[in-house]
């Protein structure tokens, strides 16, 4: 799936993404400011998360409950120095829990990524629009 959108359309984009056949682990690639966290917030909202969502930049992981009483884990690996830090927080347990795992900056933990995952790549293009490519 490939789409171009503006931030005003992000709710509809989140719905389109969730309508696809996705793996529980979704990797988010994109430069700083491309809209990864904003998209994840809207995906969480579309999954029925009621609590406020924010980037886990300092905590590495935030946990949310969806409308179906399932868990959603949002990871931000930007600040980790090595994969050992991810091991230390028990990341493998999260990744193989069967719950949603949304991971920003997955390139920092290449050896931890499960074989079964989906990928979302976002990049800024002209006029503040974004281009999104989803592979599952």
Q: What would the pLDDT profile of 69-93 be if each residue is shown by its tens digit?
A: 899 999 999 989 999 999 888 899 9
Of 46-55, 80-89, 99-108, 112-121, give the lowest mean pLDDT range: 46-55
* C-beta neighbour count of 74 within 10 angstroms: 26
Domains and CATH numbers, the chain: 2-135 (3.40.50.300)
* Predicted local distance difference test score (pLDDT) of residue 44: 95
Q: Is 7's pLDDT higher than 90?
A: no
pLDDT per residue over 26-47, tens digit each? 999 999 888 899 999 999 999 9
Return d(Cα 86, Cα 109) in angstroms, integer: 8
What is the Cα–Cα distance from 93 to 107, expressed in whole angstroms?
19
Place of tokens 């490519």: 133
């Amino acid at each position: 799936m490939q789409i171009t959108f503006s931030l005003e359309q992000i709710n509809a984009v989140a719905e389109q993404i969730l309508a696809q056949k996705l793996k529980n682990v979704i990797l988010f690639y994109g430069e700083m400011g491309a809209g990864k966290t904003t998209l994840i917030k809207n995906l969480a909202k579309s999954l029925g998360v009621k609590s406020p969502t924010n980037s886990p930049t300092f905590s590495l992981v935030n946990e949310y409950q969806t409308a179906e009483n399932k868990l959603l884990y949002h990871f931000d690996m930007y600040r980790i120095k090595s994969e050992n830090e991810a091991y230390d927080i028990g990341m493998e347990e999260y990744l193989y829990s069967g719950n949603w795992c949304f991971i920003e900056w997955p390139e920092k933990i290449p050896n931890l990524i499960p074989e079964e995952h989906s990928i979302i790549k976002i990049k800024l293009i002209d006029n503040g629009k974004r281009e999104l490519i989803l592979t599952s």
